[in-house]
């Protein structure tokens, strides 16, 4: 204020006659002093007003941040998953969908409310940083990469998307049949070459009279059995508990009779070696967990018929790699068809590919337009429900 007063006096004195009466000079200085005080007060009022506005803007931003529900997709694999989810949620600006490289997930996970894991491994250390996380889920069914016990300790729910409502189970079942027919055709070609089979047998007839062992009779197993019936096969299946099987959840996808009508012989997990000895084709449909990892090992494969076929459309870790390689080399295993591998992406230089009776597809059995659109809707609906504080539906919790 003193600086403003001095400058004003100097300017006024420069334009004022040196003969100006003393009284007039005192009046002038009083007026200048009043102007300076007025300017200073206005400045402080403006600054105070700006601070108030800035505070309100910051509070508005904070409130908007709190109103956004953030969904994290881990990694670049299966890009249609996050693309379709964004499309489904485009009319819901309060839900934000991000896809983040695997190496960057740990640095940003604290900002998200929902996480779609895909191929990411979630251990207790990573989960400890998920401060705002309410739900971890898979874009599908496999949750073997998530430490469910640790998630539970941190108060985070874990869930999968049931395969029977998205078309995922149906497409996996169809992939299993494709791999079976492919392996049977290879066998047929070899038999023709050594004159054990005549040329021209229809490929569909190759399954006729075969016994197919479905190892793990869940949603995929049910859809597989339903589709195998017209081929004239005998179906045997094992499940840990048939009594607890949820027919209600599965019958919506079964149109030709009750589930039990599709199975000629049922058994428990303790019967898997006995059933393997009866089958021409074994199809793995199990979930991967601590109890099932490496379940198809040397004792299992040695119990299979010589020349029988092995198909896996579930998880690569169900098969013991060394055992499979050994029995392919010995000729005991007649063929291997897999949509899932021990390591993914699959190593194109893996020695197992040297065998002519091996068919492999790159984990695409469940990748269809219909199933991915269906799963994106489930993820989107769950995000909206979480944002609005409603119960989460359309998913299957595992903790």
Please indicate whether residue 305 or residue 256 has the higher confidence score (pLDDT): 305
Please indicate whether residue 43 or residue 142 has the higher confidence score (pLDDT): 142
Mean pLDDT on 173-201: 80
Q: Domain map of the chain by residue range?
A: 69-165+370-397, 168-240+260-360
Contact between 310 and 298 under an 8 Å Cβ cutoff? The reply is no
Mean pLDDT on 129-137: 96
pLDDT of residue 244: 56
pLDDT of residue 242: 85
pLDDT of residue 204: 63
Name the band, by pLDDT with cuts 50, 70 and 90, for residue 182: very high
The answer to whether residue 9 scores a pLDDT higher than 90 is no
Contacts of 126 (CB under 8 A, 6+ apart): 105, 106, 109
Percentage of the chain lying above the pLDDT 90 cut: 63
The answer to whether residue 30 scores a pLDDT higher than 80 is no
Mark 48-67 as b/e (b = at least 16 C-beta within 10 Å).
eeeeeeeeeeeeeeeeeeee
CATH 3.40.50.1860, applies to 69-165+370-397: no
pLDDT of residue 200: 58
Mean pLDDT on 31-58: 52
pLDDT of residue 284: 97
69-165+370-397 against 168-240+260-360: fold identical: yes
Name the band, by pLDDT with cuts 50, 70 and 90, for residue 35: low
- Give the 3-state secondary structure of residue 292: coil
Please indicate whether residue 21 or residue 335 has the higher confidence score (pLDDT): 335
> pLDDT (tens digit, 9 = 90+) per residue, 204-234?
678 888 999 999 999 999 999 999 999 999 9
> pLDDT (tens digit, 9 = 90+) per residue, 357-394?
999 999 999 889 999 999 999 999 999 999 999 999 99
Please indicate whether residue 257 or residue 190 has the higher confidence score (pLDDT): 190
Name the band, by pLDDT with cuts 50, 70 and 90, for residue 39: low
The answer to whether residue 304 scores a pLDDT higher than 90 is yes
The answer to whether residue 59 scores a pLDDT higher than 50 is no
pLDDT of residue 189: 79
Q: What angle do CA 41, 42, 48 make, to 5 degrees?
A: 90
**Distance separating alpha carbons of residues 13 and 178, to the nearest angstrom:** 101
Percentage of the chain lying above the pLDDT 70 cut: 76
pLDDT of residue 163: 87
> pLDDT (tens digit, 9 = 90+) per residue, 384-396?
999 999 999 999 9
> pLDDT (tens digit, 9 = 90+) per residue, 231-245?
999 999 999 888 755
Low-confidence winner among 42-56, 62-76, 109-123, 154-168 (lowest mean pLDDT): 42-56
**Distance separating alpha carbons of residues 395 and 162, to the nearest angstrom:** 6
Name the band, by pLDDT with cuts 50, 70 and 90, for residue 247: very low
Name the band, by pLDDT with cuts 50, 70 and 90, for residue 68: very high
pLDDT of residue 53: 46
**Distance separating alpha carbons of residues 75 and 325, to the nearest angstrom:** 31
Of the candidate CATH numbers 1.10.357.10, 3.40.50.720, 3.40.190.10, 3.30.1360.200, the domain formed by 168-240+260-360 belongs to: 3.40.50.720
Low-confidence winner among 45-49, 311-315, 332-336 (lowest mean pLDDT): 45-49
Question: How big is the chain, counted in residues?
Answer: 399
The answer to whether residue 187 scores a pLDDT higher than 70 is yes
Residue among 166, 174, 161 at smallest CA distance from 118? 161
Longest dimension (CA), the chain: 134
Name the band, by pLDDT with cuts 50, 70 and 90, for residue 259: low
The answer to whether residue 3 scores a pLDDT higher than 80 is no
**Distance separating alpha carbons of residues 323 and 226, to the nearest angstrom:** 31
pLDDT of residue 46: 47
Mark 380-394 as b/e (b = at least 16 C-beta within 10 Å).
bbbbbbbbeeeebeb
The residue behind tokens 């004003």 is: 8
């Amino acid at each position: 204020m003193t600086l403003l007063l001095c400058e004003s006096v100097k300017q006024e004195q420069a334009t004022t006659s040196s003969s100006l009466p003393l009284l007039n000079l005192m009046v002038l200085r009083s007026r200048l002093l009043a102007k300076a005080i007025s300017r200073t007060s206005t400045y402080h009022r403006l600054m105070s007003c700006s601070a108030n506005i800035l505070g309100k803007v910051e509070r508005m931003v904070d409130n908007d941040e709190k109103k956004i529900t953030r969904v994290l997709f881990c990694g670049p694999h299966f890009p249609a998953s996050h693309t379709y989810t964004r499309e489904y949620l485009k009319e819901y600006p309060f839900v934000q969908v991000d896809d983040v490289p695997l190496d960057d997930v740990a640095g940003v996970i604290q900002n998200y409310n929902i996480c779609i894991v895909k191929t990411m491994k979630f251990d207790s250390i990573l989960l400890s940083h998920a401060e705002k996380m309410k739900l971890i889920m898979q874009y599908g069914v496999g949750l073997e990469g998530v430490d469910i016990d640790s998630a539970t300790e941190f108060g985070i729910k874990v869930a999968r998307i049931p395969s029977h409502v998205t078309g995922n189970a149906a497409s996996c079942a169809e992939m299993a049949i494709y791999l079976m027919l492919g392996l049977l055709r290879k066998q047929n070609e070899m038999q023709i070459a050594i004159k054990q089979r005549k040329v021209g047998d229809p490929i569909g007839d190759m399954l006729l009279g075969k016994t197919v062992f479905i190892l793990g009779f869940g949603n995929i197993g049910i859809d597989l059995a339903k589709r195998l019936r017209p081929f004239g096969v005998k179906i045997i299946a094992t499940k840990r508990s048939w009594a607890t099987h949820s027919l209600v959840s599965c019958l919506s996808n079964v149109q030709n009779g009750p589930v039990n009508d599709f199975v000629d012989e049922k058994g428990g997990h303790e019967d898997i070696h006995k059933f393997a000895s009866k089958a021409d084709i074994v199809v793995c449909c199990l979930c991967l967990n601590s109890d099932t990892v490496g379940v198809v090992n040397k004792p299992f494969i040695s119990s299979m018929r010589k020349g029988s076929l092995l198909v896996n459309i579930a998880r690569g870790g169900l098969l013991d790699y060394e055992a499979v390689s050994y029995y392919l080399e010995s000729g005991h295993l007649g063929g291997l068809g897999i949509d899932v591998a021990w390591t993914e992406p699959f190593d194109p230089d893996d020695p197992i590919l040297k065998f002519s009776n091996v068919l492999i597809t790159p984990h695409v059995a469940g990748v269809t337009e219909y199933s991915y659109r269906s799963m994106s809707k489930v993820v989107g609906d769950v995000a909206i429900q979480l944002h609005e504080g409603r119960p989460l539906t359309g998913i299957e919790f595992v903790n």
